[in-house]
């Protein structure tokens, strides 16, 4: 885990302060789940018709980076692939390391892929498979034995092991007073790598909507679908964090799920559950449209949102997920994708590197010779075409230099004669050699195109030192959909000077931006900043057939 003032924790919250008594399942309901807490999104999205039309998540692997999953849960039998536990205790991820009976990782898996069983709780994408990756975050039995929460390693491992969707119902709060960037460089590099490998990365926005909505990674990182929570009426939950980088909202209130122990179930709420459901929706889309790329799948999700907007709302993002429309709507291949727009140049860079490594080196075959002998080729001639060409270029350059020197001396003599004769003006092109009024330094800003030299007086991308006239990449700019970080009023940037976060307008810091160095692999970088916090809680469900809970639930984590 990370130590210090903040901690990376799973972000399900305890919003129900009383124990819910669920009655035993009776007649079949329109929506699955307990009668007192039905899975209401099944009705609003028409999930049964989507399944009948062949969209069940089949062929899609969802990597769940969480506390691990109890694969012995009957409703998850056959749904959980062997994964990995990156904590010190080892294992394949098919054990839930959550110390709370709720079992965060098992709960999220049940929301995505569970087969009907206890209380008829049913996963949205039962045809998909979950690849569990357990990480030693706060609230697990591994946290005390590890110096890192291993989330960065988990993202890359997921990308390397067939995951098409990487679901992270967790987050670590960022502090502008001590963190140099909203997204750690090593984590951004891992996410860029995963996107380049063809995966979709999904992360929770956080449950701090009533306590300031601090920036949280990995939700803030470039290329991530960041998810907030809404209730059954489509209203944003009070606990759902508000962010200018928020991508979408999804159902996250009154969500039933299976517990870590067999025969247990809970009803809770949080952006964790909203993230799991968004990941399952993406699996439905991909199973129905298997030829789409990761970028096209996300574009389809964004083009079919309820309350859809071309700009981000801090509470709703671009809108609210609608699984039915995402699967069935007619979406053009050119549909915009602001999530990938900013990270794509980095992705292209990684792909270019990988392609260059795959190209075989040119080789000259050795002359053949009988066995037991060696062959000696004829010595090359000293007079070759490259040698002749080089000599010609050298001679031409020397002649051109001589002409320039003679012409310059002639012009200087003319100028001196004009001054001696009392002239007060300079003619010809000499005055143009003076760089009068040069701006104090360069900056970056919206409108700068890929490889275009920097212009002067435009907003500066966070933490990016540049030299005057240096070509810049589009990835150094804040996308138009995000508030562009900029310096305070009339503060020029000195030539080549890095821009520190403290130089930015206070409201600009939470804006997503690129790390100070281009992401590269293998992933390496400074030690992760310290963290601390307590695990989140959920409201237990007691009912016939379920063991009674020992005592009232602990207070919510705020």
Map tokens 């030192």 to a residue: 465
Beta carbons of 459 and 499 less than 8 angstroms apart: no
The pairing of strands 224-230 and 200-204 is: parallel
Distance, in Å, from the CA atom of 271 to the CA atom of 253, rounded to the nearest integer, reads 9
Catalytic residue among 104, 179, 208, 511: 104
Answer yes or no: 66 catalytic: yes
Distance, in Å, from the CA atom of 183 to the CA atom of 205, rounded to the nearest integer, reads 13
Answer yes or no: 48 catalytic: no
Based on DSSP, count helices (H) and strands (E) in the chain, helices before strands: 11, 15
Q: Is 251 helix (H, G, I), strand (E, B) or coil?
A: strand
Phi first, then psi: give them for residue 301, nearest 5 degrees: -60, -45
Of 523, 557, 508, 7, nearest to 244 by C-alpha is 508
Distance, in Å, from the CA atom of 407 to the CA atom of 403, rounded to the nearest integer, reads 6
Of 227, 228, 229, 148, nearest to 190 by C-alpha is 148
Distance, in Å, from the CA atom of 67 to the CA atom of 8, rounded to the nearest integer, reads 12
Answer yes or no: 243 catalytic: no
The pairing of strands 224-230 and 248-251 is: parallel
The pairing of strands 165-168 and 216-217 is: unpaired
Distance, in Å, from the CA atom of 463 to the CA atom of 386, rounded to the nearest integer, reads 45
* 426 exposure class (CB count in 10 Å sphere: 0-12, 13-18, 19+): middle
Catalytic residue among 272, 287, 511, 513: 272
For 452-503, the three-class secondary structure string (H helix, E strand, C coil) is CECCCCCCCCCCCCCCCCCECCHHHCCCCCCCCCCECCCCCCCCCCCCCHHH
Residue 306 pairs with which residues in a beta bridge?
320
Q: Quick check: bond before 419 cis, omega within 30?
A: no
Distance, in Å, from the CA atom of 326 to the CA atom of 505, rounded to the nearest integer, reads 38
Q: Would you name the residues annotated as active-site residues?
A: 66, 104, 272
């Amino acid at each position: 885990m990370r130590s210090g003032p903040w901690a990376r924790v799973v972000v399900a919250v305890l919003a129900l302060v009383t124990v819910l008594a669920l009655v035993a399942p009776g007649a079949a309901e329109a929506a699955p789940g307990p009668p007192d807490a039905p899975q209401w999104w099944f009705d609003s999205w028409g999930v049964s018709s989507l399944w009948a039309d062949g969209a069940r998540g089949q062929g899609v692997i969802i990597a769940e980076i969480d506390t691990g999953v109890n694969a012995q849960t009957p409703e998850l039998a056959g749904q959980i692939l062997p994964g990995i536990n990156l904590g010190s205790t080892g294992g394949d991820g098919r054990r839930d390391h959550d110390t709370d009976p709720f079992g965060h990782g098992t709960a999220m898996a049940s929301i995505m892929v569970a087969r009907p069983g206890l209380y008829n709780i049913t996963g949205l994408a039962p045809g998909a498979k979950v690849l569990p990756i357990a990480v030693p975050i706060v609230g697990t039995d591994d946290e005390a034995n590890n110096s890192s929460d291993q989330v960065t390693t988990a993202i890359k491992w997921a990308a390397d092991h067939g995951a098409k969707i990487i679901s992270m119902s967790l987050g670590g709060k960022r502090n502008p007073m001590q963190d140099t960037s909203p997204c750690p460089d090593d984590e951004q590099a891992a996410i860029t790598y995963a996107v380049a490998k063809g995966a979709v990365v999904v992360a929770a926005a956080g449950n701090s909507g009533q306590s300031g909505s601090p920036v949280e990674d990995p939700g803030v990182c470039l290329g991530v679908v960041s998810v907030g929570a809404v209730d059954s009426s489509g209203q944003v939950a009070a606990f759902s964090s508000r962010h200018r980088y928020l991508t979408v909202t999804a159902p996250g209130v009154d969500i039933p799920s299976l517990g870590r122990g067999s025969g247990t179930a809970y009803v809770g709420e949080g952006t964790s559950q909203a993230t799991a459901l968004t990941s399952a929706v993406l699996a439905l889309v991909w199973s129905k449209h298997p030829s789409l790329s990761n970028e096209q799948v996300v574009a389809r999700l964004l083009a079919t949102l309820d309350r859809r907007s071309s700009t981000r709302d801090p509470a709703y993002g671009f809108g609210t997920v609608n699984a039915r429309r995402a699967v069935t709507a007619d979406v053009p291949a050119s549909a915009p994708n602001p999530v990938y727009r900013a990270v794509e140049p980095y992705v292209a860079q990684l792909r270019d590197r990988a392609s260059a490594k795959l190209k075989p080196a040119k080789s000259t075959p050795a002359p053949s010779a009988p066995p037991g002998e060696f062959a000696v080729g004829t010595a090359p001639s000293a007079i070759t075409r490259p040698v002749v060409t080089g000599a010609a270029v050298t001679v031409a350059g020397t002649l051109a230099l001589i002409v320039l020197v003679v012409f310059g001396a002639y012009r200087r003599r003319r100028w001196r004669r004009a001054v001696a004769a009392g002239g007060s003006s300079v003619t010809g092109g000499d005055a143009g050699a003076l760089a009068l009024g040069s701006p104090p330094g360069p900056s970056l800003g919206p409108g700068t195109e890929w490889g275009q030299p920097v212009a002067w007086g435009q907003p500066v991308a966070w933490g990016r030192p540049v030299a005057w006239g240096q070509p810049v990449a589009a990835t150094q700019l804040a996308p138009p959909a995000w508030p562009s970080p900029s310096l305070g009023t009339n503060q020029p940037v000195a030539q080549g000077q890095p821009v520190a976060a403290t130089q930015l307008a206070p409201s600009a810091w939470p804006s997503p931006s690129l790390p100070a160095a281009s992401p590269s692999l293998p992933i390496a970088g400074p030690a992760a900043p310290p963290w601390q916090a307590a695990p989140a809680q959920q409201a237990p469900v007691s009912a016939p057939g379920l063991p009674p809970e020992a005592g009232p639930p602990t207070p919510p984590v705020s």
